[in-house]
């Protein structure tokens, strides 16, 4: 290879790969920071707390995959109840569309797990390594005891938090109390340990190191959220006509007389930005709408004595001085769909009967002639008691005159959340049984008449 070609290739690869510069977000105080802190505390409190809640003798929220049962606050969902899960997922997606169209990236700025855990990890970083300037100075300084203690303390806290997060996450899929006991005894199985380790590693890596890179390069939502925006969606924006031309000035000088705008070019909004962008360059896809730049700039405006809001929540129409519309077609469509799906979910949950019955006709014999000039068909019934209480069931059959259940099936005990198989034989006098008949089998709880399910089947007799 010629030296010229080699150097050209090196130059190309350098142009294609630029390592990301480390971002040291500046801590800011302000109203949006308070809201975000509140959201972080509430969401993390829910995540770490709900895993330990008990409900009717079960973990309140448990996705028990090995047993194929989901416990959701007193409701036990089975694989057959997939409809509810599908509805919940559709409602979550529609809510995301609705709130994005209404108020931009609210989810990213205040509720996304990446934001929430990154915020928590940054709090730890600030606590162990100090302010932005102190963190930058510490990184530049040579390794010494102070640096080892500060960096080591941060890593120890991060790893502990990440491990507890991984453990809690897996605790939503395996009962957390048993998981904790097994972990303490050192007898946690290979796969459980693997998942705890994997989720701990994901938390540690994403919140500790990748941070804004997840939002910029890995998150699919960042790519398509602009499709949900319109000219009346709330965005965080710099008021360029008011702020420009930017530039430093002495305190209490008349900026207008100097031909300057309100931006004093202090760069605090850039320093506060967790994704390292400059909002003054316009709306950028890297902006997660955390509003840290608003808080930073409002503090500056307070100090220099100009009105707040140089960076603020606004809309494109408001920026252009055009009328704003809250009710837009897409919002109406999203909210109608959201209402319909939520109504469907609530209705189906309220009318849900926690009993499932499968009827399987015995295919080995079309029919049997039995003593007493009767025609008999056999069936296998699978009774699934999805309730949290045990019940005793009876089986009834209708649809054909003088149809009866041979050896009446009564008081069949089925424990809570259990499945049993029952053999049922139905009989009809021979003169009634000729041909093919549609019949109905009803399984009903003897202690609760509303707990009943009807299943259709066929009764076969001799040809006419």
Q: Name the site residues for ligand SF4 (rule: CB under 6 A).
A: 236, 238, 243, 246, 263-269, 272-275, 277, 279-280, 287-293, 296-297, 300, 310-311
Other beta carbons less than 10 A from residue 254's beta carbon: 8
Q: Do 78 and 386 contact (CB within 8 A), yes or no? A: yes
Shortest Å distance, C-beta 161 to ligand SF4: 23
How far apart (Å, rounded) are the C-alpha atoms in residues 130 and 54? 40
Shortest Å distance, C-beta 316 to ligand SF4: 16
Shortest Å distance, C-beta 212 to ligand SF4: 8
Question: CB-wise, 70 or 238, nearer to ligand SF4?
Answer: 238
Shortest Å distance, C-beta 27 to ligand SF4: 12
Shortest Å distance, C-beta 223 to ligand SF4: 16
Pairing of strands 355-361, 412-414: unpaired
Shortest Å distance, C-beta 243 to ligand SF4: 6
Shortest Å distance, C-beta 96 to ligand SF4: 18
Question: CB-wise, 16 or 224, nearer to ligand SF4?
Answer: 224
Question: CB-wise, 297 or 397, nearer to ligand SF4?
Answer: 297
Shortest Å distance, C-beta 234 to ligand SF4: 12
Other beta carbons less than 10 A from residue 312's beta carbon: 18
Question: CB-wise, 273 or 445, nearer to ligand SF4?
Answer: 273
Shortest Å distance, C-beta 197 to ligand SF4: 31
Question: CB-wise, 236 or 395, nearer to ligand SF4?
Answer: 236
Question: CB-wise, 113 or 153, nearer to ligand SF4?
Answer: 113
Question: CB-wise, 236 or 445, nearer to ligand SF4?
Answer: 236
**HEC states along the chain?**
CCHHHHHHHHHHHHHHCCCCCCCCCCCCCCHHHHHHHHHHHHHHHHHHHHCCCEECCEECEEEECCCCEEEECCEEECHHHHHHHHHHHHHHHHHHHHHHHHHCCHHHHHHCHHHHHHHHHHHHHHHHHCCHHHHHHHHHCCCCHHHHHHHHHHHHHHHHHHHHHHHHHHCCCCCHHHHHHHHHHCCCCHHHHHHHHHHHHHHHHHHHHHCHHHHHHHCHHHHHHHHHCCCCCCEEEECHHHHCCCCCCCCCCCCCCCCCCCCCCCCHHHHHCCCCCCHHHCCCCCCCCCCHHHHHHHHHHHHHCCCCCCEEEECHHHHCCCCCCCCCHHHHHHHHHHHHHHHHHHHHHHCCCCEEEEEEECCCCCCEEECCCEEEEEEEEEEEECCCCCEEEEEEEECCCCCEEECCCCCEEECCCEEEEEEEEEEEEHHHCCCEEEEEEEEEECCEEEEEEEEEEEEECCCC
Question: CB-wise, 228 or 311, nearer to ligand SF4?
Answer: 311
Shortest Å distance, C-beta 251 to ligand SF4: 13
Question: CB-wise, 58 or 246, nearer to ligand SF4?
Answer: 246
Question: CB-wise, 214 or 355, nearer to ligand SF4?
Answer: 214
């Amino acid at each position: 290879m010629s030296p010229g070609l080699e150097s050209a290739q090196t130059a190309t690869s350098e142009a294609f790969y630029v390592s990301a510069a480390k971002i040291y977000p500046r801590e800011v105080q302000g109203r949006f920071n308070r809201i975000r802190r509140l959201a972080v505390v509430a969401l993390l409190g829910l995540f770490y707390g709900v895993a330990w809640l008990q409900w009717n003798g079960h973990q309140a929220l448990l996705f028990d995959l090995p047993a194929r049962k989901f416990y959701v606050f007193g409701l036990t969902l089975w694989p057959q109840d997939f409809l509810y899960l599908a509805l919940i997922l559709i409602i979550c997606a529609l809510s995301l569309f609705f709130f994005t169209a209404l108020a931009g990236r609210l989810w990213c700025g205040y509720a996304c797990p990446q934001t929430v855990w990154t915020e928590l990890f940054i709090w730890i970083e600030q606590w162990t390594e100090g302010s932005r300037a102190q963190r930058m100075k510490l990184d530049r300084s040579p390794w010494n005891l102070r640096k080892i203690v500060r960096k080591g303390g941060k890593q120890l806290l991060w790893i502990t938090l990440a491990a507890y997060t991984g453990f809690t996450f897996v605790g939503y899929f395996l009962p957390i109390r048993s998981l904790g006991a097994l972990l303490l005894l050192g007898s946690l199985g290979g796969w459980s340990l693997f998942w705890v380790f994997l989720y701990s590693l994901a938390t540690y890596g994403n919140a500790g190191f990748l941070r804004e890179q997840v939002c910029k390069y890995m998150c699919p939502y960042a790519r398509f959220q602009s499709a949900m925006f319109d000219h009346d969606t709330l965005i965080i924006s710099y008021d360029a006509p008011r702020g420009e031309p930017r530039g430093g000035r002495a305190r209490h000088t008349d900026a207008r007389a100097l031909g300057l705008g309100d931006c004093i070019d202090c760069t605090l909004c850039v320093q506060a930005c967790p994704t390292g962008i400059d909002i003054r360059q316009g709306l950028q896809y890297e902006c997660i709408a955390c509003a840290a730049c608003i808080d930073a700039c409002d503090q500056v405006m307070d100090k220099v004595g100009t009105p707040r809001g140089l960076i603020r929540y606004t809309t494109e129409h408001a920026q252009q001085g055009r009328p704003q519309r809250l009710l837009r077609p897409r919002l109406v469509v999203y909210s109608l769909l959201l209402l319909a799906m939520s109504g469907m979910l609530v209705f189906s949950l309220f009318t849900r009967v926690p009993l499932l019955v499968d009827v399987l006709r015995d295919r080995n014999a079309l029919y049997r002639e039995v003593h007493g000039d009767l025609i008999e068909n056999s069936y296998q019934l699978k009774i699934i008691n999805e309730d949290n209480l045990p019940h005793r069931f009876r089986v009834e059959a209708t649809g054909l005159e003088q149809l009866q259940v041979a050896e009446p099936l009564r008081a069949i005990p089925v424990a809570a959340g259990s499945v049993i198989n029952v053999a049922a034989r139905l009989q009809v006098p021979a003169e009634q049984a000729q041909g093919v008949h549609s019949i109905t089998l009803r399984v009903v709880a003897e202690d609760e008449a509303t707990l009943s399910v009807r299943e259709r089947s066929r009764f076969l007799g001799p040809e006419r």
